[in-house]
Amino acid sequence: MTAERKDLVAALSQSIKAIDDDYKEEMRELRALLEDARQEAEKDEPESVKLKHMLADAREMARTFATLDPAWQAVQRIAKMFGLQ
């Protein structure tokens, strides 16, 4: 495995751990996609096109989550104030 792919695998593993630590349920689809990408990157001969598509999809999912997370946090705080959580 090349040094570049080792770095990619390490970065994907760190991202998965961060999701597990902070966002379990909210980001389960992104986590699954990152796990698939990590497994693909670990292969002796990964399919580069497949890996690039998975990473592009993950990027878009992360952007969407980052955009919507503040609103989701606000909804959760309000629900907690009213005892709905």
pLDDT at 82 over 90: no
Residues 27 and 19 sit within 8 Å (Cβ to Cβ)? yes
- pLDDT tens for each residue of 23-68: 767 788 888 999 999 999 999 999 999 999 999 999 998 898 888 8
Domain ranges for the chain = 3-81
Task: Return the closest-CA partner of residue 15 out of 32, 31, 36.
Answer: 31
pLDDT tens digit string along 5-20? Answer: 899 999 988 888 888 8
Report d(CA 75, CA 7) in Å as an integer: 37
